[in-house]
Homo-oligomer: A and B are copies of this chain.
Amino acid sequence: MINENDTVVLIDEKGRKTLVRIGEGIKKVRRLGVFDPGKLKEKKIGEKTRIGNREFIIMRPSVVDKIETIERKAQIILPKDSALIILYCDVKNGDTIIEAGAGSGALTIALANCVRPDGKIISYEKRKDFAEIAKRNIDNAQLGEYVEIKIGDVTESIDEKDADAVILDIPNPWDAVKNACSSLKTGGHFCSYSPTMNQVEKTVKTLRKNNFIGIKTFETLQREIIVGEGGVRPSFDMLGHTGYVTFARKILCVNSATEGFSVEILR
């Protein structure tokens, strides 16, 4: 049954999604018009319902639904890249993850979904306006209790110690490598998401001079496959580029621990 405190996603015939909190009272909602979400309490999950003159399927929102329906201010990290970051940084229940910047909170939502119930995301954001949007989006996604947003700049300082991962989406990640290293526990995961090759180059070279091993950068291309009347083909629509994702792992901070020890796959 659907309750007062639930959030549901309404999916229309074209797959477009609208996130709605049951208890939020009558309000104007995009694609729905003026509308009282309370009426959905009579409905069942998975049921087709009519609102105005349009039909929707009611679903409990998945993490991808939550990401796809956020209010966007900055460019977000897309699911294909979030997915890779989560697996390669081994994000899981109980982890403490440092993230910067929060942006619109898309990656934060994906991370918070993984660390619950026992973990925590600490998300640094320099800009107050972004921090507010991120907070609103994370609360709408019902993940607020697992996230702390801090106004701050990780290239200046990171308060937390023994972090399981430090994940950066900032213009100058190389300037945060030393702070990330101090904040991470031994064996912790560093990750940086950057759109340009020049950022990758500077970050990787900085990581190599610090106590990191297993430094690897990936580019991921994703294409939808269309099953049509005429046959199967890739979609004509495709995003040509999002960002490069660099991963590394902190080793014991002893002088020259990694001397002569690159630990990259040299192809």
Chain A contacts to B: CB under 8 angstroms: 11-15, 44-48, 55, 57, 59-60, 62-64, 79-80, 82-84, 86-88, 90, 92-93, 110, 113-114, 116-117, 171, 186-187, 189, 195-201, 204-205, 213-214, 216-228, 230-242, 244, 249-252, 254, 257-258, 260-267
Q: Interface residues of A: mostly helix, strand, loop or mixed? A: mixed
Oligomeric state, in copies: 4
Is A187 a contact of B45 with CB atoms below 8 Å?
yes
Q: How far is the CA of A187 from the CA of B92 in the complex (A)?
A: 23
A251 to chain B, nearest CB (A): 4
Chain B residues positioned under 8 Å from A83 (CB to CB): 83-84, 86-88
Is A218 a contact of B214 with CB atoms below 8 Å?
no
Is A239 a contact of B236 with CB atoms below 8 Å?
yes
From B44, B80, B189, B223, give the contact of A240 (CB < 8 A): B223
Is A267 a contact of B237 with CB atoms below 8 Å?
yes
Residue of B whose beta carbon sits closest to that of A89? B62
Is A234 a contact of B240 with CB atoms below 8 Å?
yes
Given A64-B90, A201-B232, A267-B235, the answer on whether A220 and B217 have CB atoms closer than 8 Å is no
Q: How far is the CA of A251 from the CA of B11 in the complex (A)?
A: 11
Given A14-B266, A15-B214, A187-B45, the answer on whether A227 and B205 have CB atoms closer than 8 Å is yes
Given A200-B225, A216-B224, A263-B57, the answer on whether A63 and B46 have CB atoms closer than 8 Å is no
Residue of B whose beta carbon sits closest to that of A208? B227
15 A-B residue pairings within 8 Å (CB atoms):
A46-B257, A47-B251, A57-B263, A62-B249, A63-B92, A64-B88, A93-B117, A196-B231, A197-B231, A198-B232, A218-B222, A220-B222, A221-B221, A237-B267, A238-B241
Is B240 a contact of A236 with CB atoms below 8 Å?
yes
Is B80 a contact of A92 with CB atoms below 8 Å?
no
Q: How far is the CA of A159 from the CA of B232 in the complex (A)?
A: 33
Chain B residues positioned under 8 Å from A199 (CB to CB): 231
Chain B residues positioned under 8 Å from A258 (CB to CB): 48, 57
Is B213 a contact of A11 with CB atoms below 8 Å?
yes
